Amino acid sequence: MKHVYQEGKDFAKAHILPYTDRTDKESRFPEESFEKLAEQGFLKLLIPEEYGGYGKGLEEHAEACLAFAEICSTTALCYMMHNVAVMCLVTHGSDELKRRIFADIIENRTFMALAYSEFGTGTHFYITEMTAEVNGDNTTFNGRKSMVTSASYASYYLVLAPSVEEGKINNWVFPLDSEGLSFELTEWNGLGMRGNSSCPMHVNDVTLDSSCRIGAEGSGQEQVFNVVAPFFITGLGAVYSGTAMHMFEVASSHAVDRKYPDGSSLSAIETVQVHIGNIYKNASAARAITLEAARAGANGEADALARILSARIFASEAAIECGRLAMRVGGGKAYNKALPLERLVRDAYAGQIMAPSADVLSVWLGKALTGQMIP
């Protein structure tokens, strides 16, 4: 893959767009799109070449998420989380674990997800209330995760649990078929992102051996802040930038196509022109700052963390503002759901609360800019 954004946009038009409305209306996971994501190689975008993947990094991750979100925010979000999980394995997983899971992804079209958030700690997902009882090489887990995107559809879930080293955590891979693992599928009824199957996961005496642990004992927090955070936060910036750009495309097309009896279009009205201009300004700025943050992160620049945090915050807020203005342009047709703007507005509102929330990230940004420890 040489031109990830354009290839992703072409793919999305062909294999994501046909299912977008149904995904939202039926709150249905986009299984058909994920089948095609595997078939076309997007699920192995970040898998190293020596394991059969494309070996891409943070910039390509952002480009793919952006391209998909310009068609369907839900699909982009679920795909983004798969990439984050893959990157945890790439950077910290044992060779045996990488070979086993990467081969399954490539050969059997499986994918990964994150199971981090808990009911007691919410957006501070790195604080876990799980229990982990060690017995020789095996560890038995108990607990409950609150919002697991792609629940029951992904084949592998990354789970944070306590380490035997006091005050530290581990990052584990839980296979879907683990005995004692179950999901409350009926508990998901999201305002937006309705197809992402983000429901609770029960962990009841799930026992795994140490081969399922990612990285060294107690290294979970290092993975969260050095790998999960940059790829997850950049990915969210891309998802909500793409959502905002989608709003621009819908609103501007409607303004041009909406005709009055005299043949003039809605776009001839100056107020509408101002709204369209502001939507584009906000959406394109979010897109630019996100792609620039990804570039800075990929190159290890000194201010990369601040750029990534600010891009995610800005993109989340820009998508909501673009939605507000786009609904004005769409008017009654938007409100009556003749246009997809109502769906996009609902999808956009997820951005400000998705862990880490915009509020938490704003604190982190201030800390990063003043040389303080995060979190």
What DSSP assignment string belongs to 148-173?
A: ETTTTTSSEEEEEEE-SSTT-EEEEE
Mean pLDDT value of segment 166-189: 96
Top CATH class, 4-111? mainly alpha
Ordered by start, the domain boundaries in the chain are 4-111, 115-216, 221-369
Task: Write down the pTM of the prediction.
Answer: 0.97
Strands 156-162 and 112-115: parallel
Helix (H, G, I), strand (E, B) or coil at 52: coil
Tens of pLDDT, residue by residue over 272-322, are 999 999 999 999 999 999 999 999 999 999 999 999 999 999 999 999 999
- Tell me the CA distances in angstroms from 240 to 8, 73, 283, 287, 314, one per residue in order: 16, 8, 9, 9, 9
| 6 C-beta neighbours (distance < 10 Å), count | 12
| 366 C-beta neighbours (distance < 10 Å), count | 13
pLDDT band at 182 (very low <50, low <70, confident <90, very high): very high
Cβ atoms of residues 123 and 146 within 8 Å: no
- Name the residue with tokens 């879930």: 157
Helix (H, G, I), strand (E, B) or coil at 143: strand
Helix (H, G, I), strand (E, B) or coil at 131: strand
Q: What pLDDT does 375 receive?
A: 77
Strands 169-175 and 156-162: antiparallel
| 131 C-beta neighbours (distance < 10 Å), count | 12
Q: What pLDDT does 334 receive?
A: 96
Token duo for residue 233: 């936060």
Q: What pLDDT does 123 receive?
A: 63
Residue 127 has pLDDT above 90, yes or no: no
Tens of pLDDT, residue by residue over 60-90, are 999 999 999 999 999 999 999 999 999 999 9
Alpha-carbon span 127 to 275, nearest angstrom: 42
Fold (CATH) for 115-216: Butyryl-CoA Dehydrogenase, subunit A; domain 2 (2.40.110)
Q: What pLDDT does 83 receive?
A: 98
Cβ atoms of residues 86 and 97 within 8 Å: no
Q: What pLDDT does 307 receive?
A: 98
Alpha-carbon span 350 to 277, nearest angstrom: 24
Partner residues linked to 214 by β-bridges: 171
Give residue 131's identity as a one-letter amino acid code.
T
The secondary element (H helix, E strand) that includes residue 338 is none
Q: Where are the alpha helices (DSSP H) in 258-354?
A: 270-298, 304-335, 341-349
Q: What pLDDT does 126 receive?
A: 75
CATH of 221-369 given 1.10.275.10, 1.10.3720.10, 3.30.70.20, 1.20.140.10:
1.20.140.10
pLDDT band at 374 (very low <50, low <70, confident <90, very high): confident
- Tell me the CA distances in angstroms from 325 to 65, 201, 256, 280, 350, one per residue in order: 24, 37, 16, 10, 18
